[in-house]
Amino acid sequence: MPTLYSPNCSYSVYYSRLATSSSSSLSGCQHRITVSSIPKRLHSQNVSFESPRNHRRNVVRMQGGEVAATASLPANETPMTTFKDELLKIKSSEEFKDVAGFDFKEEPTVSITVVGASGDLAKKKIFPALFALYYEDCLPKHFTVFGYARSKMTDAEFRDMVNKTLTCRIDKRENCSEKMDQFLKRCFYHSGQYDSEENFADLDKKLKEHEGGRVSNRLYYLSIPPNIFIDAVRCASSSASSTNGWTRVIVEKPFGRDSESSAALTRELKHYLEEDQIFRIDHYLGKELVENLSVLRFSNLIFEPLWSRQYIRNVQLIFSEDFGTEGRGGYFDHYGIIRDVLQNHLLQILALFAMETPVRLDAEDIRNEKVKVLRSMKPLQLEDLVIGQYKSHTRGGITYPSYTDDKTVPKGSLTPTFAAAALFIDNARWDGVPFLMKAGKALHTKRAEIRVQFRHVPGNLYSKSLGTDLDQATNELVIRVQPDEAVYLKINNKVPGLGMRLDNSHLNLHYAARYSKEIPCAYERLLLDAIEGERRLFIRSDELDAAWELFTPVLKEVEDKKIIPEYYPYGSRGPVGAHYLAARYNVRWGDLCI
Amino acid sequence: MARCYSPCSSSPTTFLSLSSFKHEGLVSGRMRVPERRNTTLISHGYPSLRSRKQFELKSSNGHPLNAVSSPDGLGGKSSTEEPVENRGKDGPVVYSEPGKAKSTISVTVVGASGDLAKKKIFPALFALFYEDCLPEHFTIFGYARSKMSDEELRNMISETLTCRIDKSENCSDKMDQFLQRCFYHSGLYGSEENFSELDKKLREKEVGRLPNRLFYLSIPPNIFVDVVRCAISRASSANGWTRVIVEKPFGRDLASSGELTRCLKQYLSEDQIFRIDHYLGKELVENLSVLRFSNLVFEPLWSRNYIRNVQLIFSEDFGTEGRGGYFDNYGIIRDIMQNHLLQILALFAMETPVSLDAEDIRNEKVKVLRSMMPLQIDDLIVGQYKGHSAGGKSYPGYTDDPTVPNDSLTPTFAAAALFIHNARWDGVPFLMKAGKALHTKGAEIRVQFRHVPGNLYKRNFGTDLDKATNELVLRVQPDEAIYLRINNKVPGIGMRLDRSDLNLLYKTRYPKGIPDAYERLLLDAMEGERRLFIRSDELDAAWALFTPLLKELEERKIAPELYPYGSRGPVGAHYLAAKYNVRWGDL
């Protein structure tokens, strides 16, 4: 399309952007979002967000946004670590060279260290995502991938392990094995303890070898249990952080169990890291349709006028899995579905959905708005929560186990595997509109979707044709995040034929039909964003605090009162209580109507 | 779906449709049960009564209620009586015994040997019969000058009958049954005597039943009035209703249209006249009001605040092809714009009616038409197709048609910008475009929305924000569809936006097929549903918008811009659009 430029992950488009962009470390991909250049520019502005003109000066000073965005960031009380000051000084000249003369001789390199390389997430998601980025030419020209874990392994063994999980994108399989070989050559392994500064110092030595004197940027992906987060961060930042480039750390959930433990974790992380070195990942934010939510809202005139209590009756955020813990309930039982899905994934989507229009698409602007909307919400009340736990169920000769049948789960566990909640936002836009969340394991279906139900048509001329149940005749916008991505708008339409019969039809955008290219995995997007210093899709500390505040009281109450979950059969539609909760707010779950 | 109903079935749910549209009873067996149930709704206002009152208020023609020869017997009814517009002496009897088939309907197609009759009217009547939408007892008469036996007429008709695709069982059975009810009467269009003979024959068929008569005038306009005179004075129903369906052209301008209406009203009352505009019977045009008024998501957008312009586009991919005689006298503006496109515009732009009753809807349509400024010559582009050779084939110019005068200036293409001076639409250009011998064939409504103010994504759109606006498209034909063009993120890493469609393609969603516009309109006429027919004051208002300009065009002998047969039409249309900062959505 002529009007819409297409920033794929190709090289060398938009030199002008390079000039304004601080992240000269990236030879590709950095131009992929024009606006992504702004945040970096703005990050460097300690004083004001509003001076896009003097970017040249900024560029000199900044390093991929290493300088904290203080202006609107309450959380930025962290002491600066010394290495950071140094790197700023050193990096300036490099940066300047790029800007002034497009001098690529000293191209920086990025080293990605996956801490916990032998884990499931690393094997299933992180390495394949890194390879996909490489395959699509989205990684910088020079990069190194390091696996770090306790197990002894040679580089070759490690490569074998990684190799098993790599796949090429469906749409172009050419050169796949070639590319795979090239990629694997850049993969190395280092065995060490997670809390050993010495082992990390060894790693540092190896990294330096590969970086070969280039400006070095380092990304740590912590794919490890939360109890060793801090140790690993301490060791990595003290013994293996970059001396002349940036160092960033991607952290996976769980970010604590409640407000206090989350705050403690943040406090400790900030001991070693700046706010903008911490990349808290919520992979739902990397999903295509979640990314598209803001595009739908803000680039289409037809949606924005409808986006308020005046037209929207309720919003539903629905997540379901069609399997249980299946022998891996140990971690889950400690957290439960509310912490595992509601407090992070669904709440993040809610915040994106409901936030006011940000000043720009910059990370800080968007996250500021998300924090605002989260802070406008009332903490979840116990009476607005329904919890459930799946019990065993036999169907067609097959017996499905209950949650407590899982050997890794304590027999008397009351941990919810299902939860439905009604949340409210006390602001001018959303006052009185119920935001319903529902998440569960071992349900009849597997999906994630956002459903926006609109109000009745006032004085509907066709009310006689619509029968008595006007609830079924309202418009609904459905954003199906997975599987089978789609956006559709349920409208009332005349059934063709003589007479006047109305029914619900869909104005449909089915991704599989419209876009032949495969949709990238959320981890690809997020990894690339972290490499580029694009923080839009990562959770800032104050966001996390605000999110926990909404759920902590109710979680405490559920646990203190030992509230017993409503049991539902494995593979069912979940506890009936969810319907009563919805009915209380005059809502009907959109996913169970059909 | 429980809340849905299908009016052409005999299921009791039919009553819903009746309640919402207040069809008259008496037409058919299928109506009777519902009609009885419907009595509770009478207090809501029966259309005939309401229409009567409103007509008195609104009609620009100001004819008295009881036209001399009105057989409807409307005038004397008090609003507390059973609101059956058409019942005569027997009316109450019929109504009180709704279970027994006492009424019959005779459809006389005047001009039975003509093209329209053969291609559209008889097939539509058969389709209605096939779908059990006709009353139990009915008679179809062909009337024309040619000598023909009943059998010959049946042969002629049977050639054009087709069964609906979805269920062709019993088709030939049904066809035979249908043909048995078809008869022919030969006569002159201006002969009262001949119509008396027709009356006699009709009576024979109607014997013992309450007769309702529908005349479909499928004849040239110059004999409209003669036929109406003869039919009404000699062959109107004595105690049932008599209605007349009239096809365009309804005059050539305000004066001649007014004259035609005045003449018709000598013999007919307003509610006996059913002026047909078959575009109003098209599925997507019918759906326009449903979309607007039954979906919360559209109504807030339906104004100058959000809509930048509206485009009504009609194109044919063939020329006059040896049948230019009629067309040359009228031209594309009269043939398409002043009626089809303007009617769609009125439906699109009208305020919310009080109810879905015919008179309420037509009142709103008249209001919006009267809020429009007459079309100005600066806001019009006319074109005429010229000969063109493509791929070794040569296509004739308009004036190559032997039935067209060699120096004809008649436009075969026109584009116009119209404006509505009311609070809702002030400043929004309504662009119309219609042409023959273009590169494509279709009819569609395109609604282009404004830019997003302060668009956060404008960097992703490049410089031309016009291409990044939302657009709602209703494709009336062919391949009916509704789609909403939205900006969407192209899946993948990075932020690339493009326009995608939220799409509703009728043939995938509704595989059953869509009835022809004539079926709907014929059924409506039989049922006395006037919603889709054009009232006299509507017609006047429509002509008032186009007449000054048509006069100017003809007096100044403005030469049309010539465009090649099969092209996209004259370039002038783009300049006209550009003048109002609009870009045609179809090109």
**What is the DSSP-derived secondary structure letter of residue B450?**
P
Q: Which of B8, B41, B289, B297 is the best mutation test for A, with the most CBs of A within 10 A?
A: B297
**Is B155 in a helix, a strand, or coil?**
helix
pLDDT of B457 over the 90 cut: no
**What is the DSSP-derived secondary structure letter of residue B402?**
T
**Contact B484/A at CB under 8 A:** yes
Q: Amino acid identity, residue B226?
A: D
Q: What SS3 string covers A478-537?
A: EEEEECCCEEEEEEEEECCCCCCCEEEEEEEEEHHHHCCCCCCCHHHHHHHHHHHCCCCC
Give dist(CA A575, CA A388) in Å, integer: 6
Average of per-residue pLDDT across A201-220: 92
The answer to which of A30-34, A251-255, B213-217 has the lowest mean pLDDT is A30-34
Q: What number of C-beta contacts closer than 8 Å exist between A and B?
A: 272
pLDDT of A84 over the 70 cut: no
Contact present, A344 and A251 (Cβ < 8 Å): no
**Residue A234 belongs to what H/E stretch?**
helix A229-239
The answer to which of A278-287, A430-439, B69-78, B461-470 has the lowest mean pLDDT is B69-78
> Residue A296 is nearest to which of B6, B450, B486, comparing CB atoms?
B486
pLDDT of A122 over the 50 cut: yes
Average of per-residue pLDDT across B286-303: 92
The answer to which of A282-291, A338-347, A538-547, B21-30 has the lowest mean pLDDT is B21-30
The answer to which of A472-486, B29-43, B300-314 has the lowest mean pLDDT is B29-43
Predicted confidence at residue A471, as pLDDT, reads 67
pLDDT digits (tens, 9 = 90+) for B145-176: 999 999 999 999 988 887 765 556 778 888 89
Predicted confidence at residue A473, as pLDDT, reads 81
Give dist(CA B193, CA B229) in Å, integer: 12
ipTM value, please give it: 0.76
Give dist(CA B484, CA B301) in Å, integer: 13
pLDDT of A104 over the 50 cut: no
Give dist(CA B69, CA A484) in Å, integer: 66
Question: Catalytic residue at A31?
Answer: no
pLDDT of B535 over the 60 cut: yes
CA B180 to chain centre: 29
Contact present, A74 and A364 (Cβ < 8 Å): no
**Is B369 in a helix, a strand, or coil?**
helix
> Residue A306 is nearest to which of B300, B461, B514, comparing CB atoms?
B300
Quote the percentage of chain A above a pLDDT of 70.
80
**Contact B31/A at CB under 8 A:** no
Residues of B tagged active-site: 340
CA dihedral sign of residues A92, A96, A102, A105: negative
- The shortest C-alpha distance from B281 to chain A (Å) reads 10
Q: Give φ, ψ of A144 to 5 degrees.
A: -135, 140
Per the model's pLDDT, the better-predicted residue between B163 and B216 turns out to be B216
Q: What SS3 string covers B44-101?
A: HCCHHHHHHHHHHHHCCCCCCCCCCCCCCCCCCCCCCCCCCCCCCCCHHHHHHCCCCC
Residues of B with Cβ-Cβ distance to A491 under 8 angstroms: 291, 295, 297-298, 504
**Contact B469/A at CB under 8 A:** yes
Hey, are the CB atoms on B494 and A487 less than 8 Å from each other? no
Give dist(CA B265, CA B244) in Å, integer: 11
- The shortest C-alpha distance from A463 to chain B (Å) reads 8
pLDDT of B4 over the 50 cut: no
Nearest CA in chain B to A457: B296
Residues of B with Cβ-Cβ distance to A309 under 8 angstroms: none
Beta strands in B335-454 (DSSP E): 380-386, 388-390, 393-395, 413-418, 430-435, 442-449
Nearest by Cα to A63 from A211, A240, A244, A297: A244
Predicted confidence at residue B164, as pLDDT, reads 62
For B62, other C-beta atoms within 10 Å of its C-beta total 11
The answer to which of A95-99, B359-363, B425-429 has the lowest mean pLDDT is A95-99
pLDDT digits (tens, 9 = 90+) for B538-578: 999 999 999 999 999 999 999 999 999 999 999 999 999 99
* DSSP bridge pairs for A488: A478, A508
Contact present, B469 and B448 (Cβ < 8 Å): yes
Hey, are the CB atoms on A454 and B7 less than 8 Å from each other? no
Predicted confidence at residue B99, as pLDDT, reads 44
Residues of B with Cβ-Cβ distance to A33 under 8 angstroms: 494-495
pLDDT band at A3 (very low <50, low <70, confident <90, very high): very low
B103-110 β-sheet, strand order: B182-186, B138-144, B103-110, B210-217, B242-246, B273-276, B533-534
Give dist(CA A436, CA A451) in Å, integer: 10
pLDDT of B429 over the 80 cut: yes
Quote the percentage of chain B above a pLDDT of 70.
81
pLDDT band at A514 (very low <50, low <70, confident <90, very high): confident
DSSP assignment of A332-392 equals: HHHHHHIIIIIIIIIHHHHHHHHPPPPSSSSHHHHHHHHHHHHHTBPPPPGGGEEEEEEE-
The pLDDT mean for chain B works out to 83
Q: Which of A43, A55, A142, A345 is catalytic?
A: A345
* DSSP bridge pairs for B388: B395
The answer to which of A143-152, A308-317, A508-517, B194-203 has the lowest mean pLDDT is A508-517
**Residue B178 belongs to what H/E stretch?**
helix B171-180
Residues of A with Cβ-Cβ distance to B290 under 8 angstroms: 462, 492-494, 500, 502
* DSSP bridge pairs for A337: none
Predicted confidence at residue B71, as pLDDT, reads 38
Give dist(CA B555, CA B549) in Å, integer: 10
pLDDT digits (tens, 9 = 90+) for A438-458: 999 999 999 999 999 999 888
Residues of B with Cβ-Cβ distance to A134 under 8 angstroms: none
Average of per-residue pLDDT across A486-509: 89
- The shortest C-alpha distance from B453 to chain A (Å) reads 8
* DSSP bridge pairs for A503: A493
Give dist(CA B493, CA A525) in Å, integer: 6
Predicted confidence at residue B318, as pLDDT, reads 94
Nearest by Cα to A308 from B300, B534, B320, B5: B300
Q: Which of B294, B464, B479 is the best mutation test for A, with the most CBs of A within 10 A?
A: B294
* DSSP bridge pairs for B516: none
> Residue B490 is nearest to which of A34, A468, A515, comparing CB atoms?
A515
Side-chain-facing half-sphere of A490: CA atoms under 13 Å = 21
Q: Which two tokens stand for residue A283?
A: 């992979």
- The shortest C-alpha distance from B499 to chain A (Å) reads 9
Hey, are the CB atoms on A32 and B494 less than 8 Å from each other? yes
**Is A177 in a helix, a strand, or coil?**
helix
The pLDDT mean for chain A works out to 82
Residues of B with Cβ-Cβ distance to A294 under 8 angstroms: 456
Judged by phi (left if over 0) then psi (alpha if -120 to 50, else beta), residue A312 lies in beta
Per the model's pLDDT, the better-predicted residue between B259 and B44 turns out to be B259
Q: Which two tokens stand for residue A10?
A: 């190709």
* Residues near A90 by beta carbon (within 8 Å), at least 6 away in sequence: A243, A244
| Residues within 8 A of A (CB atoms), B 300-359 only | 300-301, 306, 352-353, 355-356
Average of per-residue pLDDT across A23-39: 39
pLDDT of A60 over the 60 cut: no
Give dist(CA A273, CA B142) in Å, integer: 92
pLDDT of B463 over the 70 cut: no
Give dist(CA A594, CA A590) in Å, integer: 8
pTM over 0.95: no
Residues of B with Cβ-Cβ distance to A301 under 8 angstroms: 301, 306, 449-452, 469-470
Average of per-residue pLDDT across B432-437: 97
- The shortest C-alpha distance from B522 to chain A (Å) reads 11
Predicted confidence at residue A434, as pLDDT, reads 97
Q: Which two tokens stand for residue B513?
A: 């097929």
Give dist(CA A574, CA A581) in Å, integer: 13
pLDDT digits (tens, 9 = 90+) for B68-118: 333 343 333 333 334 444 433 333 333 344 444 589 999 999 999 998 999
